[in-house]
Amino acid sequence: MNIANALTWCMNVEKKHNDRSGIYGFTQRALAYNSNKIEGSTLTEYQTAPYLKKAFFLYQKMFTGLRI
C-alpha cells in the first residue's frame, strides 16, 4: 500500500467514525483555516478549531436529533 492509499484509507475510516483527532480532522481544520485566511479572517489555526467542533455538533443536532 502506498502513502496516498494509506492516507485515503485512514481519512475514510476516521470520517466514517466521526473521529476528528486524526488526519481527517487535521485536514478539515487546515482547509478551513486556509479558506478563512484567504477571505480575510484574522483567526489563528487554534481559534478556528472550536468553530469546526461547534458546527459539527450543530449539524448532528439538526440532522440526527442529537441532544446537546
Query: 10-residue block means of pLDDT along the chain (68 residues)?
Result: 86 83 80 82 77 61 57
**Backbone φ/ψ region at 11: left (φ over 0), alpha (ψ -120 to 50), beta:** alpha
Task: Let me know: does 55 contact 32? Beta carbons within 8 Å.
Answer: no
- The pLDDT score that the predictor gives to residue 62 is 59
Within 13 A of 24's CA, how many CA atoms are on the CB side? 15
